[in-house]
Amino acid sequence: MASRRMSIIVVSGVRERLQMAAMVASVGAVSGNEVSVFLSMNALAPFLRGAPGVAPPDGEFGAIAATKNVPSFKTLFEQAVDLGGARIHPCSMAMDVLALDRAKLEPWLGEPLGLTKFLDDARDAQVWSF
Amino acid sequence: MSEHKVIDARGSFCPGPLMELIAGMKLAQVGDEIEVLSTDKGSADDIPEWIRKVGHDYLGSREEGGVWHITVKKTK
């Protein structure tokens, strides 16, 4: 099975973008790709430890999806880690701005990462942004 | 001895049925057959693609009353 490296940058806090990012990360990871996710800006708050896997919709689709049995983006990201070996890193800058320490984030997230390291890791990878 | 296991993912939308299948595959033994039940048409199209991509045996799909039965044999 061909494998590729996938680097996914998520900065949006709206449901549709978080959902699509989670779908790409989870399906990409369980399909044999090496997946790395970088959570920054508004995308970080939903990953506070114990926060529900919900986010405000950006439009009609997100509002409708909230009423259906669509897997939560947090569940999909966690499955990307557990089933596909993905690495999901909080952005160290966003943690500084929001005054968060590692213990306040979900335990299945990886270590905080700076942009320089993420960009270095993303070299030669397929890059997705949400 | 190989087993035939059924995963009921009816009512879940993509990629829920696929992820439930993969979680089931992790627990299965080589040679086991796993049948996923899904009401999501997108998953009925997508799951066979995943099976082929990762190299398990796709044993077929059939639709009965709006429920797709997708069967895979774990090969590795």
Subunit contact B16:A69, Cβ cutoff 8 A: yes
Provide φ and ψ at A54, rounded to 5°.
-130, 155
Subunit contact B54:A1, Cβ cutoff 8 A: yes
Q: A108 pLDDT exceeds 80?
A: yes
Count of residues making up chain B: 76
Q: A1 pLDDT exceeds 80?
A: no
- How far B28 CA sits from the closest chain A CA (Å)? 14
The catalytically annotated residue of B5, B10, B12, B14 is: B14
Number of separate domains in chain B: 1
Range of the domain at B42: 4-73
CB A7 within 8 A of CB A36: yes
The pLDDT-based confidence of A3 (bands split at 50, 70, 90) is confident
- How far A99 CA sits from the closest chain B CA (Å)? 34
Subunit contact A1:B16, Cβ cutoff 8 A: no
Q: Residue B21 belongs to a domain with what CATH number?
A: 3.30.110.40
Average pLDDT estimate for A68-79:
97
pLDDT of res. B62: 97
Average pLDDT estimate for A70-75:
96
Q: Does A27 touch chain B (CB under 8 A)?
A: yes
Residues in chain A within 8 Å Cβ distance of B55: 1
Average pLDDT estimate for B5-13:
97
Proportion of chain A above pLDDT 70, given as a percent: 98
Q: Residue A25 belongs to a domain with what CATH number?
A: 3.40.1260.10
Q: B25 pLDDT exceeds 90?
A: yes
- The chain B residue lying nearest A1, using CA atoms, is B54
Number of separate domains in chain A: 1
Q: Which residues of A27-47 are buried (b: 16+ CB within 10 A; e: fewer)?
A: bbbbbbbbbbbbbbbbbbebb
Strands B57-64 and B67-73: antiparallel
Average pLDDT estimate for A110-118:
95
Q: Does A20 touch chain B (CB under 8 A)?
A: no
**Mean pLDDT for chain A overall:** 96
Average pLDDT estimate for A86-107:
97
Range of the domain at A91: 5-129
CB A32 within 8 A of CB A3: yes
Subunit contact B55:A1, Cβ cutoff 8 A: yes
pLDDT digits (tens, 9 = 90+) for A4-43: 999 999 999 999 999 999 999 999 999 999 999 999 999 9
Let me know if B14 is a catalytic residue. Answer: yes
pLDDT digits (tens, 9 = 90+) for A47-57: 999 999 899 99
